[in-house]
Amino acid sequence: MPIEKDIIVFDQECSDEIIENVFKENYTYSILSSSSYLIYLNPLFIIRYIYLLIKNLNFKEKIIRQLFHIYFLNIVGYINPRIVITYIDDNSIYSWLTQNYNDCEFIAIQNGIRGNFDQSSLSKFKHQHFYCFGDYDIKKHSDLGCTIDKGYSVGSFRVGLFLSNNKVSKKKYDICIISSNGRCDPNSINPNNRYESLDRVSGFGNRKVDGIIKKYVGENNLKLAIALSTDADYEKKYFKSLFGDNIELIERRHSLSTYETISMSNISISYMSTMVLEAIGLGNKGISIHCEDTDLYFDYPNEIKYLYKDYTSFNKYMNDLLEMTDLEYVNKIKIVKEYVMNNDSKNPPHRIIRKHIENIIGKRK
């Protein structure tokens, strides 16, 4: 049977960082995985589950999904937490629990960009307490139909952890390509699955960007680093086949290793990646390069999003960006940075959330 705890950390992603930096020493907790297949056969648990099914089942909705959601509702009821916290802010089970369990507070920490492509799912979502990158996300989520009771523009949780524990790094690389999706072959991805089709779009977009960067780096004799997204051999083989051996492949050794690589790079580049925004949160230069004029996947200001039209213009743009100091860059995009990635190194998200949790639990004693 589930045991009572002060806090539930919903899902495994970033759970260690949340526990270690937010509340480990002060409260009891358990991690509840959305992919858990743990089955409780206790008669009391089963009876309560049947009661919740009768109370909550809606025959106008998908029954299998509801059976799964209500099962989690039963587990949460037995744990009887004062807080449920998650780093998976776009998890449908978490959102459903937020709307159907009223005996605790729910805290979601944003872990990725959300945009127009996500409207069909976000329109059904609700956040009680939403710790997000910036005011942009409070507005964007709301515009797409997501209900937010209280939003907090604090920046990236992991950027805050990195800035709290690391000194400013010396620049080692001219350009860092932030890899994503392991650079899978886009043609191998099922275009009929909604989320896999997004991976397919990302795959094609990233490969176009890689080709542009190959030409630019070669012509300007620049030092290039690749922040790998996986440990898979095919990702390394892809980049070596494109760039040859004159690059440095940086493996993803831990959850903050990409942040280390970004901090050592003059410019960090990708295609519709959250890490571009996080590069800006670190106080570094970051740019998302796009070859198609659409806001479906990455709807951000032009200071962050570069629309590629021709190589001559791109070459000049990159040269100007390389010559600019980090301080000049930060001053140039100060307003945009606060809007989309509002990190404050003196008051990082984990400290703000820690105080919030202390206040919630203090009031519920």
- The domains of the chain are located at 7-154+348-364, 167-340
Domains 7-154+348-364 and 167-340 share a fold: yes
Of 7, 89, 5, 76, which is closest to residue 360 (Cα–Cα)? 7
Report the pLDDT value the prediction gives residue 311, as an integer from 0 to 100. 97
Q: According to CATH, what is the number of the domain 7-154+348-364? A: 3.40.50
Which residues are paired to 130 by β-bridges?
108, 151
Which residues are paired to 83 by β-bridges?
7, 105
Q: Which residues of the chain have pLDDT under 70?
A: 37, 194-196, 364-365
User: Residue 282 in 3-state DSSP?
Assistant: coil
Neighbour-count burial of 25, counting CB atoms closer than 10 A to its CB (0-12 exposed, 13-18 middle, 19+ buried): exposed
Q: Which residue has the tokens 């959850």?
A: 255
Q: According to CATH, what is the number of the domain 167-340? A: 3.40.50.2000
Q: List, for residues 317-338, the tens digit of each pLDDT value.
A: 999 999 999 899 999 999 999 9
Report the pLDDT value the prediction gives residue 180, as an integer from 0 to 100. 86
Report the pLDDT value the prediction gives residue 195, as an integer from 0 to 100. 66
Q: List, for residues 200-237, the tens digit of each pLDDT value.
A: 888 888 999 999 999 999 999 999 999 999 888 989 99
Report the pLDDT value the prediction gives residue 364, as an integer from 0 to 100. 66
- Alpha carbon dihedral 68, 190, 125, 100, in 10-degree steps, equals 0
Report the pLDDT value the prediction gives residue 57, as an integer from 0 to 100. 86
CB 91 within 8 A of CB 11: yes
